[in-house]
Each structure stands twice: as structure tokens, then as C-alpha cells.
Chain A
């Protein structure tokens, strides 16, 4: 480093620092100055502040502090430069920005700062003043240009110096590094390096020292030829002489005498001023040995390749051309290696295009082919079958295919022949249903052919031992077969020949097999193995069994079965035939059919039968034949012809059945039928008559009648019904016209479900039903009787019904009226309750004050009688008497109301006795001063409430007694009489009487016929009487004449109409 050089950074710090210091001084001096300029002070202050900040920022590494400083100082100078400098003079201060830019930045900034300063100045001066002067501008421009140029010169000088410095430093570095690297290489490389001059070692590196086993000081300064051996020395001298620069190998020796092969490369170099040779030596002993070994291995491989009896060939993967092939391959193909090389298998016709394509495909898929049978065509055109394999290999950086081919033509041929044999055997066995087996008696193992396994229903998983063999046999045959094998076959050394059943393990089927077996004996005449066959004979066994069964059947059959040959000589004659015709088999066999079985057939008819037999193969006839003893038998004969292979009739077979009985039975049935028919006709006539009656009834009854057929769904739910038959009244009863054939739903889709349910139930159960139901859509009620008609499966129901709508409506109306009535009754009852409560109050609350009035009036008389004059005493008496009268009135009223609501207890009452009691009481209490004659009719009794009737008589008799009060001789009578034809009781007096014009008022409450002064009374008594009589259902009336007397008549029961 050159200490005299000032760096940009140092310059920047110096300038910024100086500026800041100067500005601080300026600012401080301005503050303390006598006549400070405010603008200058402010500008200096701000500038000092900015410089301080910028210096600090730059010291902290902010490079742009330089740029910001230049911009700010330019602006400050231009803006704050006080007048009059701006417009009048151009002070050197305006150069502050550009100069700063010169030091801190580059020429562009110098120009920028200058132009900025001038621009702002011109703006401040409004385009006038000193800066608008071209001269000033030119001067200013010259100054700036000078500054810029000086900066450029300084810059370029510095750049050159920097570059020179950098190059020098770089070169020094490179040299040092190169030397260092060389040293390291020298020390570290595994290659031996020696520097020699004409064979005299000047230097050797440690690797060489190690390689040869000499220490450097042992060899340096000595000739190399002392060490490397004569052979190597000669080669090296020759090479040195020739000035060879390519590497070469020499055999040499180590210090310990070990053989060493090294590779050398030598170069002439200048070393310490001298021209010398530098040799790099590499130990290649190992490599050489490996190369040698490889060569030997390659040779071995080559020999093997050539000599193996397996055909080998190598083809290029790219074009399929043969590169190499061995002798075996040449033998297979008939082409020599020379002929093969460069050609493809296709070109030589060794393979067909299809083959080639297939092999290529396989290799591309898997990369190899293993032991695949290939048919290769040789040069002579014959085919060789080989077991071929192919594999992709890398040979001399080229993708090749190594193919092997083993000639298997001979083997193949043998195999094929064998296979063919086996196949034939298998086919034979399969056709014959015959399996062969082999049983080793010494080991107990056995094996069988495929067909054998198939017949026995076993597969390769079946364990074939002496123990498993019997398990295949049917349990029922197992023991017997085992015994047979042990005793008869092995025991006696005989042949195995037996039929028995087996159970196949695979399908558990029961099969019949016929097993044959030949024993083989050893030298000691001991059986050692058995070889034989098994045949499935199930079908033939079955046929045989069936045949036996049929034969048995034939002999036992009741029908006559006979057969004859083409000459009609009898060959078969069964028991049935013996029975039917009376001839034994011995008698019949061999004789002509016509001799044995006689009939009345003419020869023409016989001819016809034979003709038909010939043509159709069979003939059926019913005819009369004759028993041996001459008895005729009626026979149904079925004859078939038996034809031989050439189609000629070789015989006949006839099955003849005795149908005499049947014939008779048929005759009988015919007779019976005839009589039955007659009876049926009679019966039908009767039925028709009954039908006629039914029809009349059906047509004439007023009830509706119909027969319906129910329509059910699959769950036996009745959905609808159809009118099959209706009577004339039907339409009137239902309002449905032309119903026959139509369904109910078609008239009334919403017909109530219960109709369908009920009729469905009747149709299903057959239980009749009687019910009343509403049919809303018909607006009718029906009374219905329904019962099943016909057979259950017909699902028909007969319905007899009546439209009862009117009756039902009347009933409904009655119910409604009843309801109304109940309502009224309950209203009445509540009214009565109210009245009762009212009466109760009256009895209590009206009487209490009366008692007070009466009591206190009496008290007044008693306590103050002495101060009251007579007049006052009279008034008080009046008060008391009125009070008491009122009390009586209330009591009477209460009685009236009580009677109205009290319960009626009716029983037989002796009226005369009651009247007597009342009369006696009257006599005792009142009639002392009166002359009254009472006449009471004895023995009158009636049904009534005794208490209430006593009230009646008390009132009536009281009245009679009262109103006769003015008669000197009163007459009062009770009795029974007849009024207008009905009995009535009466109470008669000869008293005051009343004007009948007012009779209508007689029984009203508080109605009086007389003045109180004449006859006192409340006017409630007769009202009470009438009420009692009415409650008994009777009536009361009066007949009166003024001054002549009154008669009250009454009855106690309703008039019986």
C-alpha cells in the first residue's frame, strides 16, 4: 500500500468534517455577532445540522450521505444565499455545491449541482439580475467545466494507478501460490518424480523414494542406471536418446529386489538455470498383472465358448447381425462362423420373421428368454428343435444378445412318441371306462392312471397307501372285499376279479366297479405286486338289474305276454298267458300262435293285421278269443313287430289283456247311465218348476234382492263386488239403475269399506250376517240379510235387503226430541231448585221481622201500658193481629210451595178415615158453639199420598166449616158420586156459595170469593188443594150457588180412556 494515496473515503470524511466544523464556527459567530444576518444564521444552523447528520451517517457506512450532502448544500446555498448577492453579485459561495460534488462524487454531480444552483438563483431573481447575464453564465460555466475536467483527469489517473497496483499484487500472489502448489504436489503426489541431468539424480520426491525403497540421500547425485537394472537402463537410454516424450513402460526392480513395472514420462525443463529432465514415474505392476490375468481368463472363456456342445451365438442388438458363434451353433445351423458373421438369422432363414418378431418382443419385455422350444431351420433346410435362451449382454460397449441353443430334436421325438403312447392309452382307457393301477404289496403304495383316478373320484392329493385303499370301497362291501383280497387273492395267489361298490370321495356318488388284478411274484414265490384294471360298470350293472327286474315283472304280470318268431312260432309265454289261455308254457312254446290262440278272425282280417304291423310296427285290437277249454275271453291285444337290423320282421311281441270283466262293467255302466239320464231329466223338470217358483218370488218381493260376486285382491281383501243378478225391487230399494253386470264401486267409488268387508267375510267363511248399515253415497240406510250363494270358490253372496232410511230418520228425530226433552227437564229442575231456595229464605227471613214487630209491640203494651191510652192500645193490637195474619199467610204460601216440590209417596189410603180424623179435629177445636152435621161415606179408599190428602181434606173441610158459619144448621158431606160417567169424590156444604162467574179464579193463589171481614182466610188453601189433586193426576172442580152452598168434586187418578 502506498501511504501517500488518499482514499475516497478519507477525502469524504475530511471534507464533510471540515465543512461541518466551518459551518459550526460560522453559525456560532453569527449568533454572537453584533449585526447578525438572520437568514445566514438560520442557513448556517441548518447546514451545520445537516453536515453533522450526514457525517455521522457516512461514518456509519451510509454511502448515500455523500449524494444527500451535495443535494442539500446546493439547495441551501441557492435558497439561503442572502440578497443582494443573488441578483447583483455572483459570490464564490455559489460554487460550494459543485466543489463539494467534485470532491465527494463525480463530474455529473458537479454539473448537476451547478445547474441546480443557477436555476434556483434565476428563479429567485425572476429571470433577471446578474445570473441572467450571459457573461456571468459563461464565467460560471468555464469554472464548472474546469472543475469537471480536473475531476476527470484525477479520476482516470487514479484508476490507472489502482489497476497497476492490482496487477502487480495479483502477479505476486500467483507466483507465490504456484510455488506453493508445486511444493505440495511434489510432496503429496503418489507418482514418483525425479529431476535428473543426464541420468544423475538432482532431486526425487518422497513418493519416488517410497516406490523404489531408497532414501533421497542414497540416490541424489548418483546415476539412475545404478538402480533400475540393465533391461530398464537400456530402454531408458534409448528413449532419452530419441527424446521420447510419450509415456512408456519399463520393468525394473525395487531396492529389495522385487520386480516392478513402471510407466515413465519425461520432460525437459529448466531447473535452477540448467536444462534438465523431469521424470514422472508410475507403478503399474498391479495393473499389468490384472491385464495378464484378464487375458488368460478371456482365453479360457473363448475356448469354452468354442467348445461347449451348446450352440452359442452373439448378435448385435441394433441390427441382429451375428458377431460370433461357436462350433455347436454352426453344427445346429449348418453355417460356419464366417458364413454367419454379419448376417442375421432372418437373412439366413434360420428363423422365420414371426419367430424373430416374437423373440425380439420377449426380450424387449423381459430382457431374456429361458428354455423355450424353438425350431431352427438349418442350411440344408431341415429343422432342428432346440431349447433356446437369450439374454441381453454388454459387449465392448455395445448391446448384444447372447443366445444359447440346445439341440433337443431327438429327445423331443422320443418324448412325442411317449406322449402319443400315453395319450392313446388314456383315450383307450377313457373310452373303455377302464383305469389301470399298480399296487406294491411290499410297501403298500399304489398308483393309478388318470382314468383310474377319475373313476375312483380321487386326485393327486389323495394319500395312496394300503390303509386308504379300502376307504374307497362302499362300507357295505368293504369287509367282504378286504377278506376276498386277503384270503382268495393273496392267500391263494389267485387272480383278483371282483365287482363291488365304491363311494367316490369327490362327489360321494355310489358306483359299481369291476376290478381285475394279476399278482407278480418274487423269486421266493411271494406276491410282491399286483397290476390290474378297474372298470366302472355302474351303468351296465343298472341295465342288468333292470333287465332282471323286468324279466321278473314280465313273468309275474297278469297280462298275457307272448312273443313269436317270424314264422309265428311262440318263443315267449308268461304266467299271464298260461292263465288267460289255459295253455302251459311247455305246451305253447314252439307252436304256432294260431294253433294255441283261437279266435274268429277271418283270414282277410289276419292279413290286414299283418299288413298294419308291417307298416306301423304295432296293432291294437279288442276281440274274442278262446280259452283252452273253449271258454270265450274278451281280450284287448297290443302287438308290436320286432325287426332285425335289415328292417325285416323277425318276430312279434304281444301283450293281451283279459277285459271280459271290464266289458261287463262297461255294459252295466251304460245301463245305469241310461236310467240316470232319465232321472236327471225328471229332476231337471222338478228343478225348473222350483226355479219358476223362485223366479216368481224373486220378481215379486218388495225387498231388494241381488247376488253379487266378490272381487278380492291377492291378500283376500275384498275390493269390490259385481252384481250378477238383481230383482225388480232392487232399483227402487237402492236407486241404482241397470246394476246387473256392474260393480258397486262403479256406482259409488267411496262406498263404505264395511260393506266390502262384511260381504268378503261371508263369501270366505260362509257365515250369513244380518245388519243395518248406512250407504252414504246412496243416501240410504239398509237392513240387510246376506248369505253365501253357490260354491265357496264362486265367491258369491246373496243379499236380501230393505231400504230403512225413513225408519232410521224417524229414530234419529225421536232421539233428537228426547234430547230436547231432557234439556227442558233439567232446566225445570234447576228452576225448582231456585224456587226451593227462595221458599227457604222466605220462611226464615220474612218471619223473623214479623216476630220482632209483634214482640216489641207486646213489650210496648207491657212496659208502657200505663202511659198508653185505650186508642193506642187498640192500634197496637191491630199491629199485632196484622203481623200474625201475615205470619199465617207466609205459612200457607210455604205449604203451597212445599206441596209442589215434595215427593209423592203413593199407597192405598182410606179416605174415609182421613176425613173422620179431620172432622173430629174440627169438632174439637172449633165447633163448640156451632151446629154442624157431618156426613162421611164409609170405606172409600184410593191410591194416594196420605199426608197430602190430609192437607186436601183439611182445607176443603175447613172451608166448608168456615163458609157455613152463617148457617144456623150447617151440613157438610163427604162421599163418592158419578159425574159424566166417571166416579168422583165430593165435599159438599150448604154454606155461602159463590158466583160461578168467578169460578175460574177459584183455585188461584190469593184469590178470594168473599170479604175478609165476612170470611177470613189467606186465599191460598184451594190453590194448595188443586195442586195436590193435580199431582195425583186427578182433577178438581166446583159447583156452587150463592147462599145455597158449594160442592167440590175431585178425582185422584187420570181418567182411564
Chain B
């Protein structure tokens, strides 16, 4: 069985590269799809825009979602994922720099599965990604398809 993809929603290319590097270092082999803003994320998930024709039922195993994004914000993306019954069960991990209480509270209000703050220290960052990958891709039992 083909391993499901990870959807990374992140506009900072440096962060994208670091995340990929962290994943590699953590020996996580799942394909990683990168989209650079909220709208693109929604297009990918609901097969709109440049992703028209994509099989919507082919959901990523986990969505790594930054909050501060161009166009549609991370919280809005999360709200729409949860509002649509096709995507409402996808594990969504908020991966962001913000430590604002407001952001954390809002994310959980919208049923985010985790909230991870990206540390400045890369060693710690790799650790975090490693833990995250381990947890969501290995330990966690994914939601059954609809």
C-alpha cells in the first residue's frame, strides 16, 4: 500500500526546506506536498484551481498548517477543512512560529489536532518534527475513509 502524502502549508521557502530536511533526518519517507498559501491548500484538498481533477478522496495523512499565510489565513483553511464532511476528519497539525494565546485557543476551537511551535533552535525543530512524524504517521491510527 502506497504511503499517504503529508500536506505542508507554508509560505516561507526556508522553513519548507528545513521541514523537509527535518523529515528526512527523521527518516519519514512519506511524499510531502507543499502548497504556499491558504487558497492553494484548499484547492489541493477540494480539487480546485490548479488541482482541478484531483481525486478528492485521496486525502493526505496529515496537514501541517502554518497560521500566518498569504491570501486565506491558516485558521480559515482549518475552518473550511472542518466544515466540509469530506475533509473534516483529516488530522491537522498547526506548525507555526506564533505563541500567542489567542492563536492557540482559536486553533483548538476549530478542532486542530495539535499545536506545535517551531523553535528557533534547529536541533529542537528536528526533534519536534521527528516526534510529530512518529506520532501522526506511525503511532496514530488514521481516521477511516468515508
A residues contacting B by CB (< 8 A) are 840, 843-844, 847-852, 854-859, 880, 883-884, 886-887, 891, 894, 898, 902
Contacts and interface: CB of A to CB of B under 8 A. Distances in A.
A840 B15 contact: no
Nearest to B12: A848
A898 B101 CA distance: 9
A884 B98 contact: no
Interface centre among B12, B121, B125 (most CB of A within 10 A): B121
B97 A858 contact: no
Contact of B100 (A840, A850, A854, A880): A840
Nearest to A947: B101
B23 to A, nearest CB: 13
B119 interface: yes
B135 interface: no
Which 8 pairs of residues, A with B, have the shortest CB-CB distance? Answer: A887-B120, A855-B122, A852-B14, A858-B122, A855-B18, A850-B120, A854-B122, A847-B97
B14 A887 contact: no
Contact of A851 (B68, B100, B122): B122
A844 B120 contact: no
B131 to A, nearest CB: 17
B123 interface: yes
Contact of A844 (B18, B97, B125): B97
Given A856-B14, A884-B121, 4 more contacts: A843-B100, A851-B120, A880-B121, A902-B101
A894 B12 CA distance: 22
A858 B120 contact: no
B98 to A, nearest CB: 6
A619 to B, nearest CB: 121
Contacts of B106: none
26 contacts: A843-B97, A843-B99, A844-B97, A844-B98, A847-B118, A848-B12, A848-B118, A851-B14, A851-B119, A851-B120, A851-B122, A851-B125, A852-B14, A854-B121, A855-B18, A855-B21, A855-B122, A856-B14, A858-B122, A858-B123, A859-B21, A880-B122, A884-B120, A886-B120, A887-B120, A898-B100
Interface in B78-112: 96-101
Contacts of A891: 99
A883 B120 contact: yes
Interface of B: 12, 14-15, 18, 21, 68, 96-101, 118-123, 125
B73 to A, nearest CB: 12
A849 B119 CA distance: 11
Given A852-B14, A855-B14, A894 B99 contact: yes
B98 A840 contact: yes
A650 to B, nearest CB: 130
B119 to A, nearest CB: 7
A884 B124 CA distance: 11
Nearest to A855: B122
A123 B15 CA distance: 134
B99 A851 contact: no
Majority SS at the chain A contact face: helix
B45 to A, nearest CB: 24
Given A852-B14, A855-B14, A859-B21, A847 B120 contact: yes
B123 A843 contact: no
Contacts of A850: 120
A856 B121 CA distance: 11
B65 to A, nearest CB: 14
A854 B120 contact: yes
Contacts of A858: 122-123
Contacts of A843: 97-100
A899 to B, nearest CB: 12
A848 B14 contact: yes
A859 B126 CA distance: 11
Contacts of B121: 854, 880, 884, 887
Given A847-B120, A858-B123, A887-B121, A852 B15 contact: yes
Contacts of A854: 120-122
Contacts of A848: 12, 14-15, 97, 118
Nearest to A851: B120
Nearest to A887: B120
Nearest to A895: B99
A917 to B, nearest CB: 20
B66 to A, nearest CB: 9
Contacts of A883: 120
A1039 B18 CA distance: 48
Contacts of B101: 898, 902
Contacts of A886: 120
A385 B14 CA distance: 157
Contacts of A902: 101
A854 B126 CA distance: 12
A580 to B, nearest CB: 116
Contacts of B125: 851, 855
A404 to B, nearest CB: 133
A857 B125 CA distance: 13
Contact of B68 (A844, A849, A880): A844
A859 B18 CA distance: 9
A877 to B, nearest CB: 12
Interface centre among B96, B100, B101, B125 (most CB of A within 10 A): B100
B15 A851 contact: yes
A181 B119 CA distance: 162
Contacts of B14: 848-849, 851-852, 855-856
A96 B21 CA distance: 147
A887 to B, nearest CB: 3
A859 B97 CA distance: 20
B18 A852 contact: yes
Interface centre among B98, B99, B119, B120 (most CB of A within 10 A): B120
A886 B119 CA distance: 12
